[in-house]
Amino acid sequence: MVAAVVAAAFLGGCSVRVPDPAAPDTAPATRQPATPTVSPGHDAGAVAARSMPFSAGSTLARGVPVQLSDGLADAPGWRRAGNGSGGASEYRKSDGCLAAAKVRINQWPLVAGNDRESTEGLFAYLDPTILPKYLTPASLRWGGEPGRQGPTVDVLVLERAAVSKGTTGAVLARVFGKAGSSVFVAISCPTASALTAAKTDVARWLTVVPPAE
């Protein structure tokens, strides 16, 4: 399975399953916004229209998870490769790159401080040797329309060169503490230049779908 291969390459044998272990639920990839959920006093439209830095995580409705689009399957050279372990959406590129993307819900045990601290904690949960200084900031699309400039969402990235023979890769993740959910994208490529192109594709085509009301 692509997800298992990708995750094992980056995290020293860790599964791509993004925890908490007591709540193994996974939200599927979608091409549409989440099912409307009413949260009194919360303006989901306003939240979706603005970028989502780590500091803005508290503006989400409590317990209403984000979702991931299936847009990477529409990117040039990419195709959907099915579902892998834990419900990850898997993608394969013609140049040999692999990607696995997933959303986890009920992530309350990972929540600590703001969303950046929670995201650092997610990486540490997967591999205790991953320190915050190894992580770099990046962004994915936050709703909007493919092909048009729109709001973005902050994520943290772990990159590891030559993680296994003939491969290099990156992991992008974000915990949304108020929403109790997380997104996780693992990419593996045969060369550094292919990885750079794959990360650009992911940032352009893979959308984090804001919760809707």
CB 183 within 8 A of CB 26: no
C-alpha torsion angle, residues 22, 13, 124, 81 (rounded to 10):
-70
Q: What is the DSSP letter of 71?
A: G
Closest listed residue to residue 89, CA positions, set 103, 75, 106: 103
Render 135-185 in DSSP notation, one character per residue: -EEEEEEESS-TTS---EEEEEEEEEEEEETTEEEEEEEEEETTTTEEEEE
Closest listed residue to residue 103, CA positions, set 201, 199, 34: 34
Q: What is the DSSP letter of 96?
A: S
Residue 49 has pLDDT above 70, yes or no: yes
So where are the chain's domains?
Answer: 2-209
Quote the pLDDT of residue 44. 74
Cα 17 to the center of its chain, rounded Å? 12
Other CB atoms within a 10 A radius of the CB of residue 36 amount to 10
Amino acid at 198: A
Residue 28 has pLDDT above 90, yes or no: no
Quote the pLDDT of residue 148. 77
Cα 104 to the center of its chain, rounded Å? 9
* Segment 145-201, tens digit of pLDDT: 766 788 999 999 999 865 556 789 999 999 999 999 999 999 999 999 999 999 999
Quote the pLDDT of residue 32. 42
Other CB atoms within a 10 A radius of the CB of residue 39 amount to 14
| Interatomic CA distance for residues 82 and 102, integer angstroms | 12
Percent of the chain with pLDDT over 90: 64
Region 51-72: mean pLDDT is: 94
* List of residues 6+ apart from 121 with CB closer than 8 A: 110, 112, 175
